[in-house]
Amino acid sequence: MSMDKSMNVLIVDDYKTMLRIIRNLLKQIDFNNVEEAMDGGEALSKLRVGNYGLVISDWNMQPMTGLELLTEVRKDTRLKTLPFIMITAESKTENVVAAKQAGVSNYIVKPFNAETLKGKIEKVLGNA
């Protein structure tokens, strides 16, 4: 399966600078249809009405964390198979396990670069 770089990607982070960094990294690897949400609740609203091919979400957000967002996405019949990549500064084993148990597609630990992001997206979506 080839990677559709024209798909809509939703990036979720409560830190504007991180949203800008992720957007720029995605642009470097030719993903240009990128929308942003500032927290899990906003992301869930967008996901329920939009058509996205990938979610890239931070873990540590308020009031709804990335893990809570992932859990809600996996409970939704229309969204449950949506590729979901979690980004976090935490590399603790229990966090990785919790994310895997909740159904995360892949996991990225900060800091990361375009090459790392591309590799994780390729694992989730198939090679370009």
- 85-88: long-range pairs with CB below 8 Å, 24+: 85/54, 85/55, 85/56, 85/57, 85/120, 85/121, 85/124, 86/57, 86/58, 86/59, 87/13, 87/22, 87/56, 87/57, 87/58, 87/59, 87/112, 88/58, 88/59, 88/60
Residue 111 has pLDDT above 60, yes or no: yes
**pLDDT per residue over 1-47, tens digit each?**
467 899 999 999 999 999 999 999 999 999 999 999 999 999 999 99
pTM, two decimals, is 0.95
% of the chain beyond a pLDDT of 90: 88
Residue 91: per-residue pLDDT: 79
Domains, in order of start, for the chain: 9-112 (3.40.50.2300)
pLDDT tens for 81-96 read: 999 999 998 878 898 8
